[in-house]
Structure 1
Amino acid sequence: MNRNGIDAAGSAATTGAARADYDHVGRRLRTLEQCALYKRTLRLTCPRCGHVRVLDAVCLWWMFNRRGWDDGLPAVAARLCCAGCREQKATARPRVTVGREPPTGTPLPYPDEATWKKLVSRHRS
Structure 2
Amino acid sequence: MPPIEYPDEFHAPRSLHDVGMRGHTVEVRCLVCDRCRRFDPYALWWLFEQRGWNDKLTQVAKRFKCLSCSIVRRRVARSLVTIVDDPPNDDTLPRPDERTWRASVKRRRT
Aligned in 2, Cα 1:113/1:106: closer, same or farther, shift over 3 Å? closer
**Counterparts of 1:73 and 1:101 in 2: how far apart (Å)?**
18
1:33 shift after superposition: 1.1
Distance in 1 separating the partners of 2:50 and 2:67: 22
Tell me the residue number matched to 2:86: 101
- Paired residues for 1:68-87 under 5 Å: 68-87=52-71
- Consecutive unaligned residues in structure 1, runs of 5 or more: 1-18
What's the RMSD between the two structures over aligned residues?
A: 2.0
Percentage identity across paired residues of the two chains: 37
1:48 offset after TM fit, Å? Answer: 0.6
Q: Kindly indicate whether residue 100 of structure 2 is the aligned counterpart of residue 115 of structure 1.
A: yes
Q: Which runs of 4+ in 1 moved over 6 A?
A: none
- Supply the distance in 1 between the matched residues of 2:101 and 2:5 (Cα, whole angstroms): 21
| Greater relative contact order structure (CA < 8 Å, 6+ sep) | 2
TM-score (norm 1): 0.74
Greater C-alpha radius of gyration: 1
Q: Which residue type is aligned with residue 95 of structure 1? A: L
Alignment of 1:11-90 (within 5 A): 20=4, 22=6, 27-88=11-72, 89-90=74-75
The structure with the greater share of residues assigned to helix is 2
Paired residue total: 105
Name stretches of at least 5 consecutive residues in structure 2 with no aligned partner: none
